[in-house]
Structure 1
Amino acid sequence: MSLQTFPVLILCAFYFLTNSYIYADQDEIVDVNTDWKWAVRKIKELEEQVRIQDERILTLEKRPTASEWTSMVDIRKTFQKQHDRIVQLEARIDELETQTEIENNELGETSSPERMHVSQSKRPMINSKRSMVKNARLLLQPTPVSVETVAFFAYFSTHNPPSMHHHILAFDTVITNVGNAYHPHSGTFIAPRTGLYVFTWTIRLWGNSYHTSELLVDNNIVNTIYLNPVNEIDGSVTGTAVVLVNQGDDVLVRTGSNYNNGDIKSDTNGRSSFAGWILM
């Protein structure tokens, strides 16, 4: 190697090292930006999850305890007993008033003019007392307890093939949804208020299909039904439950952990459906 070519090699090496350093810095900047965007996105996702959990916790904190619900039921029972007693007393008062009028009329027919005059002079007083009794009865009339109506009914628009275990049955055709608490896309009813509810669901099967289905309330199995037509019938089976549901609880129907095969049928010849409503 000559002395003339040596400086040229030095310059080439310096140029290569400088450009490599610049490109490395650019790659690191790109990597840092990518990591930063990912971190920001994850932070936003975590913040959204925390917000949802906070709302869920707030809903759970507002739920009445078992003792509070028992007290509410006892109060309503006491109220109903008092109402029944008031009705009985009103009937007895009407009976006594009628009997008193009959006795007064009989007494007036057989009494002297002087006694008739005294009886007539006391009549305004008697009428006044009757008016007071009637006013008191009006005040004792029970105050109606308003209950927010909640009810829904939905069915499958077509045959449904839920062959896997624990498959949520999303009944997609909604006929009734008072309170807008049933969500057809997820097949879930979310209780808008705490109360005693009735739920019922029907599963239609035929051929070699067989299924176990479960009603879940707040992720707890409340009732289970099973049907196997054994290639002999086109039939259906229905399950029903009366259960206390807290505000915010999810209620749904899903396939069981065992014995699931084939389509769940639903057409104009017979619907597979899900319904529920609040009692009190």
Structure 2
Amino acid sequence: MATLFLVPAFGFFILNFSPEKHVFAQPNENWDDGPNWNLAIKKIKELENLVKIQDERISVLEKRPTLSEFRSTVELQETVQRQNDRIVKLETRISELEVMVTDTKAEAIHIEPSEEVPNFGLKIFTPEKNFIRKERILLQPTTVPAESVAFFAYFSTHNVAASPQQILAFDKVITNIGNSYHPHSGTFIAPRSGVYVFIWIIRLGRTNYHTTELLHDNNVINSIYLDPQNRMDGTVTGTAVVHVNQGEDVLIRTGAHSNGRIDSDTNGRSSFAGWLLM
């Protein structure tokens, strides 16, 4: 019975199988030449490149500070600035308090009666002890005037000033606060009215001798004279304290009794200086 069933089934399989209806891949068929396969590979590569670019962008974004971190940094900087400003104010206040010192001075006060006092049985109190007196000294801080004026200049080389009434132009300027000294003309022009101090130094040697004068507004204020008499080099210094109005000039010139050169080198400088006193 089983044999009879298998025979018809096998015959049915043979009748329904046809090589025209079923196509099998050949072993040597090349799938890489198919257009759909090439397009798929191309798409895959494009997707891989896109993923790579996205990964790079994500990496860059992860390295950037976030908005909250940036705000925190700005707030921290503002806090530091406020603290620095407060420290400056506190340091200024401390400096003001430091100049206010309490100085304790012990002064021995001994009182003696100036004349004999009769003893009528009264007790006379004569202080014999030392009294401690406390004083509070307020030291005013030294401040620079808002419009300071000062200058200092000297001859860079020896100066031949053979003629009388020759203006001495001290050409090497070291200090010129206020830019009121003019080295080309040797003239100081007061930028503001006030009391000024002027000093000039003249160095001479051998047979040279000179009278030099300080002129204020064409008036001789002070003069000095030096004659080494061919014995040794020497220097002489002149000083003047003058009230000078704004725009008036002050200068140094030779006097009537003058001869030879004025020395100025590393061994000794001939110079001119001045500053606003008050």
TM score, norm. by length of structure 1:
0.48
Normalising by structure 2, we get a TM-score of 0.49
- Greater RCO, CA 8 A, separation 6+: 1
Greater share of helix residues, 1 or 2?
Answer: 1
Please identify which structure carries the higher strand content: 2
